[in-house]
Amino acid sequence: MSDDLRLKQIALARQALLCDGADLTDMLASAWYDRTWIIQSWRRCLEQGALPQEEVVFEQVSPHARSRAIDEHASLLVAARPELERLAATIAPIRYFALLTDARGMVIDTAGAIDRRNRPTQAIARVGVDLSERSIGTSAIGAALTELAPVWLHRGEHFFQNNSVYSCAGAPLFGPDGACVGMLDVTGVEVPERPELRHLVAQSARAIEDALVLSLPHSLRLYLSWPATWRTSGGAVEGALVCLDEDGSVVGANHAAREMLPGLRAAPRGLPHASELFALPWATLFDLAHEGRACTVPLWSGLRLCASAQFNAEGPHAASPATGQGAMRPLREVETDLIRQAVRDAGGRVAEAAKALGLSRATVYRHLAAVRHGER
User: What distance lies between CA 239 and its chain's CA centroid?
Assistant: 11
Q: Residue 333: enclosing H or E segment and its boundaries?
A: helix 331-345
In the chain, the domains with their CATH numbers are: 3-47 (no CATH), 63-213 (3.30.450.40), 217-311 (no CATH), 331-372 (1.10.10)
The pTM of this model reads 0.76
DSSP letters spanning 151-164: EEEEGGGSSSGGGT
pLDDT reading at 179 higher than 70: yes
Overall size of the chain counted in residues: 376
Residues 6+ apart with CB under 8 A from 245: 217, 218, 219, 251
The confidence score (pLDDT) of residue 257 equals 94
Average pLDDT taken over every residue of the chain: 83
Torsion of CA 88, 89, 94, 97, to 10 degrees: 20
- Compute the half-sphere exposure of residue 315: CA atoms within 13 Å on the CB side of its CA: 24
Q: Is 208 helix (H, G, I), strand (E, B) or coil?
A: helix
List pLDDT tens digits, range 36-58: 888 889 889 989 999 999 999 89
Q: Is residue 16's pLDDT more than 90?
A: no
Name the band, by pLDDT with cuts 50, 70 and 90, for residue 303: very high
Q: pLDDT tens digits, residue range 119-166?
A: 999 999 999 999 999 999 999 999 999 999 999 999 989 999 999 999
- Residues ≥6 apart with Cβ < 8 Å to 293: 308
pLDDT confidence bin for 252, thresholds 50/70/90: very high
Strands 151-154 and 166-174: antiparallel
Residue 1 has pLDDT above 80, yes or no: no
d(CA 109, CA 89): 15
Q: Which amino acid is at 298?
A: P
- pLDDT tens across 65-86, in order? 888 888 899 999 999 999 999 9
361 Cα distance to chain centroid: 37
- Could you please report the per-residue DSSP string of 213-279? HHTS--SEEEEEE-HHHHHHTTT---SEEEEE-TTSBEEEE-HHHHHH-HHHHH-TTSS-BHHHHBS
Please state the φ and ψ torsions of residue 129, each to the nearest 5 degrees. -80, 135
> Tell me, what amino acid is at 208?
I
- Residue 247 backbone dihedrals phi, psi, to 5 degrees: -95, 5
Instruction: Give 141-191 as a DSSP string.
Output: HHHHHHH-S-EEEEGGGSSSGGGTTEEEEEEEEE-TTS-EEEEEEEEEES-
376 vs 371: CA distance, rounded Å = 6
Q: CA-to-CA distance for 139 and 109, rounded, in angstroms?
A: 18
At residue 172, the pLDDT reads 97
- In which band, very low, low, confident or very high, does the pLDDT at 3 lie, cut at 50, 70 and 90? low
pLDDT score of 169 more than 60: yes
